[in-house]
């Protein structure tokens, strides 16, 4: 009798509040009873498992849905549930293999049929964690402004454990595991968010940098099949194409990485090297894939990342986007003003076309020299009389521009048009504000990630601050790209 329940609730709102604040943080589903933390404003559930732990025989295998009942899960405390990863600066990031978990934050006093935002973290497919960007301030602000929603942030396996490569990975059905993890998290959200007060028909999927790339990969999965897992997307500083070319399974360098890991761990003589890797102590395996990454002397994505496997990716992302083989939904997409500026070294002393060509030949070897030559003509040196930071040369900002258009602005604009021409509304933006607490060198301007400090709490920026939100977002250059019929 929902009618009479509403009447009672309407008559005694105080009682409803009391009931929610004491019991609202306990949620039952057929699989489990989840106990979150609550401060009366937010309920936070730390580390909800969304797949079977990928350990033992499930290491380096596609994620498996949870089928056994989990009973009572006390999720009041954040734990170190980070997936093993690598980072060019930090080195090997020890985590836990049992990392397929998600965090969920909702308003304590109002959670009925709320829209849901699911965040996929970035980290070059090699590091990152669901807790790196803390959505609590966002949920609080949404609630305060009558735009209440539920925030979900998901983990997925990264580095070698999420993206093994080579023939053996192919024959063991182990490509693009991290993307499959993301999808299983989305399936969990679709099936279970109703019990947490969310509306499974109002899910927005979002991400920044590699997180945004991941969102587009979810849109084009299995030829662009629409499983209703999300109804809109937000792509911050990422698109279907851009930074790194995605190899086919026979890419020799990646086979070599796999072989080196097998050799280094003593799995060469095992009857099945892949099975041997699955049964190693995790420290030993993690150390080996880290050493191989270091020896490759490259950025992590060039060692362990997504592969055009013919199953998830039925072709190169650029081809799938051009062919319209993706799920087109309302999209917010954009980049920051100076996006990739901090990737361009300041010690090279760029002063001529030749110095730029020499650099790009090594830095982006997969871009044909002809393309770079044409871009040099489009961005003539005469327009770059200014200079970058000391020692960077008179044409440093020219290189920055060329690189930004090549690897960020053009791919993002192209994706915006492609999504729009499939009939979905697209809102395109350029983020042009630095937060007052932002500590990056000022010559970097509004570089990649500048937008995040306005939205999320992070360890270095604990409080995004509501006043600054409204004040600083004004210069944001937003326009609406009308949708067209396909």
CA-wise closest residue to 444 among 344, 376, 306: 344
Window contacting ligand NAG (CB under 6 A); options: 134-142, 161-169, 257-265, 447-455: 257-265
CB of 250 to ligand NAG, least distance (A): 15
The set of residues, in sequence order, having a beta carbon less than 8 Å from that of 386 and lying 6+ positions away, is 397
H or E, element range at 232 = strand 232-236
Shortest spacing between CB 452 and ligand NAG, in angstroms? 24
CB closer to ligand NAG out of 256 and 351:
256
Q: Does 96 bind ligand NAG (CB under 6 A)?
A: no
226 touches ligand NAG (CB under 6 A): no
The span from the CA of 407 to the CA of 412, in Å, is 9
Q: Does 473 bind ligand NAG (CB under 6 A)?
A: no
Q: Alpha carbon of 147 to those of 45, 106, 270, 465: distances in Å?
A: 21, 12, 57, 17
Q: Give the nearest distance from C-beta 364 to ligand NAG in angstroms.
A: 25
Choose which of 92, 119, 219, 415 interacts with ligand NAG (CB under 6 A): 92
Nearer to ligand NAG, 92 or 220 (CB): 92
169 binds ligand NAG (CB under 6 A): no
**Could you tell me which stretch among 212-220, 255-263, 422-430, 477-485 binds ligand NAG (CB under 6 A)?**
255-263
Q: Which residues contact 145 (CB under 8 A, 6 or more apart)?
A: none
Smallest separation (angstroms) from ligand NAG to the CB of 290: 9
Piece in contact with ligand NAG (CB under 6 A), picked from 72-80, 258-266, 394-402, 425-433:
258-266
Near ligand NAG by CB under 6 A: residue from 22, 263, 436, 441:
263
| CB-facing half-sphere around the CA of 151: CA atoms within 13 A | 29
How far, in Å, CA of 219 to CA of 330, rounded? 12
Cα 364 from Cα 299, distance rounded (Å): 12
User: Rule CB under 6 A: is residue 268 a binding residue for ligand NAG?
Assistant: yes
Which DSSP helix (H) or strand (E) runs through 264?
helix 252-264
Task: Give me 228's structure tokens.
Answer: 């209703």
* C-beta of 260 vs 346, nearer to ligand NAG: 260
Closest approach of Cβ 99 to ligand NAG, in Å? 15
Among 283, 294, 374, 471, binds ligand NAG (CB under 6 A): 283
Task: Kindly state the tokens that stand for 362.
Answer: 């090594």
CB of 442 to ligand NAG, least distance (A): 31
- 256 binds ligand NAG per the rule CB under 6 A: yes
Q: Which is nearer to ligand NAG, 72 or 252 (CB)?
A: 252
Contact characters 287-326, ligand NAG, x per CB under 6 A: ----------------------------------------
191: its two tokens: 């099936």
How many residues bind ligand NAG, per CB under 6 A? 8
Q: Which is nearer to ligand NAG, 69 or 167 (CB)?
A: 167
**Closest distance between ligand NAG and the C-beta of residue 270, in Å?**
12
Bridge partners (DSSP) listed for residue 74 = 35
What tokens were used for 154? 């998901």
Assess 94 for contact with ligand NAG (CB under 6 A): yes
- The answer to whether residue 260 forms part of the interface with ligand NAG (CB under 6 A) is yes
| Strands 101-107 and 150-154, sheet pairing | antiparallel
Can you tell me the distance from the alpha carbon of 47 to that of 56, in angstroms, rounded to the nearest whole number?
Answer: 20
Q: How many residues does the chain have?
A: 486
Decide: 258 and 265 in contact? Cβ < 8 Å.
no
Q: Which residue, among 130, 88, 45, has the nearest Cα to 342 in the 3D structure?
A: 88
CA distance 412 to 123: 18
Nearest to 63 by CA among 194, 132, 161, 130: 161
**Residue placing its CB nearer to ligand NAG in the complex, 80 or 201:** 80
Contacts to ligand NAG by CB under 6 A: 92, 94, 256, 259-260, 263, 268, 283
């Amino acid at each position: 009798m929902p009618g009479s329940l509403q009447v009672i609730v309407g008559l005694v709102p105080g009682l409803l509040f009391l009931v929610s604040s004491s019991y609202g943080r306990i949620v039952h589903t057929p699989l489990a009873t989840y106990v979150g933390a609550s401060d009366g404003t937010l309920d936070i559930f730390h580390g909800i498992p969304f797949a079977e732990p990928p350990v033992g025989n499930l290491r380096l295998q596609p994620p498996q849905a949870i089928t056994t009942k989990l009973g009572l899960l006390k999720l009041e405390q954040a734990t170190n549930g980070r997936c093993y990863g690598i980072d060019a600066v930090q080195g090997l990031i020890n985590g836990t293999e049992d990392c397929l978990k998600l965090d969920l934050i909702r308003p304590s006093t109002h959670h009925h049929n709320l829209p849901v935002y699911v965040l996929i973290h970035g980290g070059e497919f090699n590091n990152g964690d669901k807790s790196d960007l803390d959505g609590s301030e966002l949920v609080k602000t949404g609630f305060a402004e009558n735009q209440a929603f539920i925030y979900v942030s998901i983990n997925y396996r990264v580095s070698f454990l999420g993206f093994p490569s080579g023939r053996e990975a192919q024959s063991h059905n182990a490509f693009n595991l991290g993307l499959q993890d993301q999808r299983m998290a989305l399936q969990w959200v679709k099936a279970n968010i109703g019990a947490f007060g969310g509306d499974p028909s109002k899910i927005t999927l979002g991400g920044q940098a590699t997180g945004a790339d991941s969102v587009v990969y979810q849109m084009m999965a299995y030829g662009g099949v629409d499983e209703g897992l999300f109804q809109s997307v937000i792509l911050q500083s990422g698109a279907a194409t851009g930074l790194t070319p995605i190899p086919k399974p026979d890419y020799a360098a990646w086979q070599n990485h796999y072989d080196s890991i097998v050799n280094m761990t003593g799995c060469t003589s095992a009857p099945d090297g892949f099975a041997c890797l699955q049964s190693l102590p995790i420290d030993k395996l993690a150390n080996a894939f880290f050493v191989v990454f270091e020896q490759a002397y490259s950025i992590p994505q060039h060692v362990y990342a997504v592969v055009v496997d013919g199953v998830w990716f039925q072709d190169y992302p650029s081809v799938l986007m051009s062919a319209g083989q993706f799920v087109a939904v309302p999209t917010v997409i954009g980049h920051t003003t100076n996006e990739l500026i901090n990737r361009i070294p300041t010690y090279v002393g760029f002063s001529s076309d030749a110095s730029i060509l020499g650099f790009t030949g090594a830095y982006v070897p997969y871009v044909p020299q002809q393309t770079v030559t044409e871009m040099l003509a489009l961005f003539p040196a005469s327009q770059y009389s200014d200079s970058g930071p000391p020692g960077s040369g008179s044409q440093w900002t020219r290189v920055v521009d060329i690189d930004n258009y090549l690897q960020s602005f053009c791919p993002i604009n192209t994706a915006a048009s492609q999504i729009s021409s499939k009939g979905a509304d697209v809102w395109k933006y350029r983020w042009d504000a630095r937060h007052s607490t932002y500590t990056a060198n000022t010559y970097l301007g509004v570089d990649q990630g500048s937008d995040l400090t306005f939205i999320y709490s992070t360890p270095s920026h604990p409080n995004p601050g509501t006043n600054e939100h409204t004040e600083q977002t004004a210069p944001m250059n937003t326009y609406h790209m009308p949708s067209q019929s396909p």
